[in-house]
Amino acid sequence: MGKEEMTKEELLEKSKEPAKKAMKWHPFYKGKIEVSPKVQIESLDDFGVWYTPGVAKPCEDIDENPEMVYEHTNKWNNVAVVSDGSRVLGLGDIGPEAGMPVMEGKGLLFKYLGGVDAFPICLNAHDPDEIIQAVKWIAPSFGGINLEDIATPKCFEVLERLREELDIPVWHDDQQGTAAITLAGIINGLKVVGKKLDQVEVGLIGAGAANLCLARTLLEAGVPEENLYLCDSTGLLHPKREDLDEESTPEKWKFAQKTNKEQKEGGVPELIEGKDVVVAASAPGPDTIKKEWLKGMNDDGILFAEANPIPEIYPWDAKDAGVRIVGTGRSDFPNQVNNSIGFPGIFRGTLDVRATTISDEMHIEAAYAIAEVAEENGLDEESLVPTMENTEVYIRQAVRVGLKAIEQGLARRELSEEELRDRAEKTIKASKRKTKNMMDSGDIKKAPDVDLS
């Protein structure tokens, strides 16, 4: 029975299956990633090459020319997934230990989908200065830093300062990653309904890290300032909001000055009214967004309800309210608008050219690559973006991102389009092949069955 043939009750029950499996499979495997050798070891003599005494020569070479660390070590492919556990999924401030399953999962996606070696670094630190210092201390071992699930507003300071103070790319996936995949979904959603990016009215529910970066991205991609509206828990952002100021809430204040030109007031219902596109990155649902509010959207409306683990409103309820296209962050619903479609490929391209940062132009380039691959596969109301099974989307992003970094003068090494594609394709396919080989051999055991009744 397909999703389109299932009742709402059956869809709701099916949506609970991942959580049930997670509680059985996580303790079975006791972690999702591990470190494995990548060199041949044919005899004990080889350890004299990989470790002492032979290893001294590469050390000396790096000492003389620090850039050689990218040739002699795995720094070129290492990414730290850094979190303080202060805003994990939709669960809030649950701490570094409770955030570990998410960061390990991130590492799994990095490796399997992008061929990137990513390590969970969960910090027992909440002060921005402490987080920044900790990342700077460990940075020599990594070719990139992925900040994850750090609460607003400190995430802005942490990202900005680390981007300024480190010479490796620092990326906040809740900001740039969410913006990239959401922009891709909007681009293709508008193609399906026959509307233009520079003509639609867009409302963003939630003014945290994700939607503030998305707002900046949408403006850079062509949405006029006068067509963009943001709403936080207090209400619509506008210049007369006395609780917003340049010192204490600089990001919100900035958008309050240049969006919502009509200075509309109110809350979520007022924001939704008359919009062509609504993106929610707010409190998990269900029913954070009410069906009756969505009836005020324009015809052929597009809604992305991105809260995890439960979207602000279930897709079938949004459809009942008249919304034509609905996306969520979940893989078990149509139109998964999820960062996992973006960050593995974006980092692949970034690492392959040894970029010093990930610019907004780079993640916008990735968004168009995602949209192109989906369009080539055939667009419809439930297939706006590719699924994680689509290897080409990661390869395409890697190429486009790498080329954009080179164009912007942000790359340490220049590769041709053909070289970038060959490198990304080989690395990503090798990662998937190794995983399959370990499954076939039994080194990765089959997960136990789970009673879903």
What domains are there in the chain, each with its CATH number? 27-168 (3.40.50.10380), 174-453 (3.40.50.720)
Taking the C-alpha atoms of residue 15 and residue 314, their distance in angstroms, rounded to an integer, is 10
- In 3-state terms the chain splits into helix, strand, coil percentages (rounded to 5) of 50, 10, 40
Give Cα 113 to chain centroid, integer Å: 13
Q: Look at residues 202, 217, 204 and name the one whose alpha carbon lies nearest to residue 172.
A: 217
Which residues does 155 contact at the CB level (< 8 Å), separation at least 6?
A: 87, 147, 172, 174, 175, 209
> From the first residue on, what is the mean pLDDT of each consecutive set of 10 residues in the chain (453 residues)?
60 81 93 93 94 96 97 97 91 93 96 97 96 98 96 91 96 92 97 97 94 95 96 93 87 92 92 97 90 96 92 94 94 88 97 96 96 95 93 98 98 97 97 96 94 83
SS3 call for 242: coil
Instruction: Count CB neighbours of 53 within 10 A.
Output: 8
Residue 327 in tokens: 């996306």
Question: Would you give the distance in Å from CA 98 to the centre of its chain?
Answer: 20
Task: Return the pLDDT at 1.
Answer: 36
| Beta strand segments in 48-89, E | 78-83
* Residues taking part in catalysis: 51, 106
The pLDDT score that the predictor gives to residue 3 is 44
Tokens of 83: 């979190």
Query: SS3 of 387, please?
Result: coil
Other CB atoms within 10 A of residue 196 CB: 10
HSE, side-chain direction, 13 A CA sphere, residue 175: 26
Rounded to an integer, what distance in angstroms lies between the CA atom of residue 83 and that of residue 126?
9
The per-residue pLDDT for 107 is: 97
pTM here is 0.92
Residue 364 phi/psi, 5-degree rounding, is -70, -40
Q: From start to end of 65-211, where are the E strands?
A: 78-83, 117-122, 144-147, 170-172, 202-205
- Return the pLDDT at 2: 43
Residues 6+ apart with CB under 8 A from 248: none
Find residue 79's DSSP bridge partners: 118, 144
Q: What is the CA radius of gyration of the chain?
A: 22
Going across the sheet that includes 78-83, the strands are 117-122, 78-83, 144-147, 170-172
62, 68, 70, 73: CA torsion to nearest 10: -40
